[in-house]
C-alpha cells in the first residue's frame, strides 16, 4: 500500500513522520528517471502500449498497483524525507532555502493538544487565489495560465465578502480573507518554483520537440501573480471557499474553477433550489502538482487532453526528486489541516454516495449505484480483455505524433 492510512486521529500531522523512503534502489531509479529526457518518449510510448496490454490482463489493477509500488513507494520515502525536512525546519517553519515559498502558511496542528486556530497564533496570510482555485491550494502558487487573464482582478468587494460565517470563521478568517496588508505579506518570489522543476527534462518529458512558447520565467512569474489575487468568490453559503461548490454533479468541477468568476455568484437556477454546498476533498500532493504544472505541460506539449497530460504529469511526478515531491506532500498536508480546520465536520464520505451533492437524494443514490456497477463491469471487462478505450486509441494515434519527435 502506497499510503499509510489514517494512522489515527493525528494522521494529518503525523503522516510525514511515518514516511520512510525507499532506499538505494530508489535512488538509482530516480537517477534513471532523470535520464528521462532521453528515454521518456520511448518509455511513454512503450508504457502506453504496455498499459493497454496490461489492462487486458486479468490482474490489470494489481499489476498497475504493483508497478506503482515499484516506481514510487514514495509516500514511504517521502515521509522519511519529510522527517529530514522537518528537522531542517526545526522551528516549525520552512527555512529551507529551497522552499521559501512556503513560509506564508503557518498552521497549528489541529491535532496537537493545545493547537488553536486563533489568528494571533497563526501567521497565516494565505491569499486566496482567484479563478476559483481551490482555496486550500492557495497554499501553492499555482499557475493560472489556463485561466482567463481578465479574471485576476477581483472586485474589491469580493474580499469583503470573504467573511466566513462558519463558526470558526473568525478564527479562520485570517486564512482566507485578504487582509489589507496581506498581499505584502506574501513573498512573490517562489524560488523553488522559479527554478525549473525539470531542468534536465524537456517539455513533455521528451527532448525538446516543441519549443516552448511560454518562457518559463513568465509562467512562473504568474505564480506570484496568482498569489496576489484575492479570493475567488463567494459561495452561496457565504463561505468564500471555492472548495465549496454547488452540488451539480459533474458540473461542479467546472464551477469550481471557472463559474465562480465567469458566472455571477448567483445563478437563477440555484436560487430556485438552493442546495447544500459540496465541500470538495482537499487536494493531495499529486493533485497539487498537477494543478501547478498542467498549464505548463499544455503549453509545452500542445496537448490538451487531460488524460494524456496526466500521464505525462504522472511520469514527471515520479521523476521529481524527493525534495521536490516533499514540497507537495507538505503542501497537501497543510491543506488537509486547513481543510479540517475549516470544515471540522466534513468527511470524505460526504462526497461519496451523495453523488457529489450535499443532498443525497434517491436519484443520486441510484446514480451512484449505477456508477458503481459500471465501474465493476468495466473492471471485469478490462480483466477479460474488454473493449479498448477511446483514449487507448488516442494514445496509439496521437502519442506517436506527439511523442516521437525526439
**Interatomic CA distance for residues 17 and 356, integer angstroms:** 32
Nearer to DNA, 153 or 375 (CB): 375
Report 206-245 residues binding DNA (CB under 7 A).
243
**Interface pick for DNA out of 127, 154, 172, 285 (rule CB under 7 A):** 285
Site for DNA (CB under 7 A): how many residues? Answer: 83
Nearer to DNA, 97 or 349 (CB): 349
Nearer to DNA, 16 or 171 (CB): 16
Nearer to DNA, 134 or 222 (CB): 134
Q: Are 95 and 196 in contact (CB under 8 A)?
A: no
Report 61-80 residues binding DNA (CB under 7 A).
61-62, 64-65, 68, 71-72, 74-75, 78
Candidates 174-182, 230-238, 266-274, 346-354 — which segment interacts with DNA by CB under 7 A?
A: 346-354
Nearer to DNA, 186 or 285 (CB): 285
Nearest alpha-carbon partner for 131 in 266, 263, 270: 263
User: Residue 331 interacts with DNA (CB under 7 A)?
Assistant: no
**Interface pick for DNA out of 348, 359, 366, 404 (rule CB under 7 A):** 348
User: Residue 378 interacts with DNA (CB under 7 A)?
Assistant: yes
Residues ≥6 apart with Cβ < 8 Å to 296: 143, 145, 214, 216, 219
Q: How far, in Å, are 17, 76, 102, 226 from residue 109 at the CA level?
A: 14, 21, 16, 26
Q: Are 242 and 189 in contact (CB under 8 A)?
A: no
Q: Are 237 and 277 in contact (CB under 8 A)?
A: yes
Question: Binding marks (x or -) toward DNA, 1..40, rule CB under 7 A?
Answer: xxxxxx----xx--x-------------------------
**Interface pick for DNA out of 368, 383, 396, 406 (rule CB under 7 A):** 368
Angle between helices 322-342 and 11-18 (to 10 degrees): 170
Candidates 118-126, 179-187, 226-234, 248-256 — which segment interacts with DNA by CB under 7 A?
A: 248-256
Cell reading at 103:
513560509
What is the number of other CB atoms lying within 10 angstroms of the CB of residue 111? Answer: 15
Q: How far is the CB of 79 from DNA (least distance, A)?
A: 9
Q: How far is the CB of 254 from DNA (least distance, A)?
A: 7
Report 180-209 residues binding DNA (CB under 7 A).
none
Provide the H-helix boundaries in 149-190.
156-160, 169-176, 182-185
Residue 258's φ and ψ, nearest 5 degrees, are -120, -55
**Interface pick for DNA out of 154, 190, 229, 278 (rule CB under 7 A):** 278
Nearer to DNA, 184 or 400 (CB): 400
Candidates 29-37, 110-118, 196-204, 284-292 — which segment interacts with DNA by CB under 7 A?
A: 284-292
Provide the H-helix boundaries in 282-321.
285-301, 306-319
Q: Angle CA(207)–CA(212)–CA(213) in degrees, nearest 5? A: 165
Nearer to DNA, 172 or 279 (CB): 279
User: Residue 51 interacts with DNA (CB under 7 A)?
Assistant: yes
Residues ≥6 apart with Cβ < 8 Å to 198: 36, 205, 316, 319
User: Residue 272 interacts with DNA (CB under 7 A)?
Assistant: no
Alpha-carbon torsion angle 291, 292, 294, 296, nearest 10: 170
Residue 279's φ and ψ, nearest 5 degrees, are -95, 120
User: Residue 402 interacts with DNA (CB under 7 A)?
Assistant: no
User: Residue 129 interacts with DNA (CB under 7 A)?
Assistant: no
Nearer to DNA, 123 or 270 (CB): 270
Nearer to DNA, 147 or 180 (CB): 147
Candidates 26-34, 117-125, 203-211, 281-289 — which segment interacts with DNA by CB under 7 A?
A: 281-289
- Provide the 3-class DSSP secondary structure of residue 278: strand
**Interface pick for DNA out of 99, 206, 317, 343 (rule CB under 7 A):** 317
Nearer to DNA, 106 or 360 (CB): 360
User: Residue 352 interacts with DNA (CB under 7 A)?
Assistant: yes
Provide the H-helix boundaries in 130-280.
156-160, 169-176, 182-185, 191-194, 216-228, 251-254, 260-262, 268-272
Q: Are 86 and 16 in contact (CB under 8 A)?
A: yes
Place of cell 500532493: 285
Report 136-155 residues binding DNA (CB under 7 A).
146
Amino acid at each position: 500500500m502506497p499510503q499509510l492510512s489514517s494512522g489515527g486521529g493525528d494522521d494529518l500531522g503525523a503522516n510525514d513522520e511515518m514516511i520512510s523512503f525507499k532506499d538505494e534502489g530508489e535512488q538509482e531509479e530516480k537517477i534513471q528517471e532523470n535520464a528521462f529526457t532521453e528515454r521518456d518518449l520511448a518509455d511513454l510510448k512503450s508504457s502506453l502500449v504496455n498499459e493497454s496490454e496490461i489492462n487486458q490482463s486479468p490482474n490489470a489493477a494489481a499489476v498497475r498497483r504493483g508497478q506503482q509500488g515499484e516506481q514510487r513507494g514514495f509516500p514511504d520515502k517521502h515521509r522519511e524525507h519529510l522527517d529530514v525536512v522537518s528537522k531542517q525546519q526545526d522551528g516549525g517553519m520552512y527555512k529551507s532555502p529551497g522552499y521559501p515559498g512556503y513560509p506564508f502558511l503557518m498552521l497549528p496542528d489541529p491535532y496537537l493538544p493545545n493547537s488553536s486556530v486563533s489568528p494571533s497564533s497563526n501567521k497565516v496570510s494565505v491569499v486566496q487565489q482567484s479563478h476559483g482555485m481551490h482555496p486550500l491550494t492557495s497554499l501553492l502558487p499555482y499557475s493560472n495560465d489556463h485561466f482567463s487573464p481578465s479574471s485576476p482582478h477581483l472586485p474589491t468587494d469580493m474580499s469583503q465578502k470573504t467573511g466566513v460565517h462558519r463558526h470558526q470563521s473568525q478564527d479562520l478568517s485570517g486564512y482566507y480573507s485578504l487582509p489589507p496588508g496581506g498581499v505584502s505579506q506574501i513573498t512573490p518570489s517562489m524560488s523553488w518554483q522559479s527554478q525549473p522543476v525539470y531542468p534536465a527534462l524537456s517539455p513533455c518529458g521528451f527532448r525538446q520537440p516543441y519549443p516552448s512558447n511560454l518562457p518559463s520565467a513568465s509562467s512562473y512569474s504568474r505564480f506570484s501573480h496568482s498569489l496576489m489575487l484575492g479570493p475567488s468568490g463567494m459561495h452561496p453559503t457565504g463561505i468564500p471557499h471555492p472548495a465549496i461548490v454547488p452540488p451539480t454533479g459533474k458540473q461542479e468541477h467546472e464551477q469550481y474553477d471557472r463559474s465562480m468568476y465567469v458566472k455571477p455568484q448567483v445563478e437563477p437556477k440555484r436560487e430556485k433550489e438552493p442546495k447544500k454546498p459540496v465541500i470538495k476533498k482537499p487536494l493531495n500532493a499529486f493533485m497539487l502538482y498537477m494543478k501547478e504544472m498542467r498549464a505548463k505541460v499544455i503549453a509545452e506539449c500542445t496537448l490538451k487532453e487531460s488524460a494524456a497530460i496526466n500521464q505525462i504529469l504522472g511520469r514527471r511526478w515520479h521523476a521529481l526528486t524527493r525534495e521536490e515531491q516533499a514540497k507537495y506532500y507538505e503542501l497537501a498536508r497543510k491543506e488537509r489541516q486547513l481543510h479540517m480546520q475549516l470544515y471540522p465536520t466534513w468527511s470524505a464520505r460526504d462526497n461519496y454516495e451523495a453523488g457529489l451533492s450535499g443532498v443525497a437524494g434517491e436519484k443520486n443514490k441510484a446514480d451512484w449505484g449505477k456508477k458503481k456497477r459500471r465501474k465493476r463491469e468495466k473492471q471485469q471487462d478490462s480483466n477479460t480483455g474488454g473493449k479498448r478505450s477511446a483514449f487507448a486509441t488516442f494514445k496509439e494515434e496521437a502519442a506517436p505524433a506527439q511523442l516521437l519527435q525526439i
